[in-house]
Copies of this chain bind each other. A is one copy, B any other.
Amino acid sequence: MSRHRVEVLIQPRPGLLDPEGKVVHHALDSLGFPGIEEVRVGRAIHLEVDAADAEEARRQVDRMCRRLLANPVTEDYEIRIRAETEEERR
């Protein structure tokens, strides 16, 4: 059993309205940022989960998404097991 850092990205399903994305897009235009083609706003959920291995952690989090975290009608979700990378964090 070890602890796994898992990231879940939840987004409005393509083709469905994303009013928050539209508002952010408009605000960025108003602030003078050019060349923005699309903005979609979703949720990012970070979990630390105890599981036998990464695949078991992924299965657990998949069940959590179906039961609680994501709306299966309007949202898509993506589960990532975090590895240490050269990400930029500020």
- Which residues of A are in contact with B by a Cβ distance under 8 Å? 1, 3, 7, 9-11, 21, 24, 27-28, 31, 33-51, 58, 60, 63-64, 67-69, 76-80, 87-90
Contacts and interface: CB of A to CB of B under 8 A. Distances in A.
Contact of A46 (B38, B63, B69): B38
Given A27-B68, A78-B89, A33 B60 contact: yes
B31 A68 contact: yes
B28 A51 contact: no
Chain A residues touching B, majority SS: strand
A24 B50 CA distance: 17
Contact of A9 (B31, B40, B44): B44
15 contacts: A9-B44, A24-B45, A24-B68, A31-B64, A36-B47, A37-B48, A37-B50, A39-B47, A42-B43, A42-B46, A76-B89, A78-B87, A78-B89, A78-B90, A80-B87
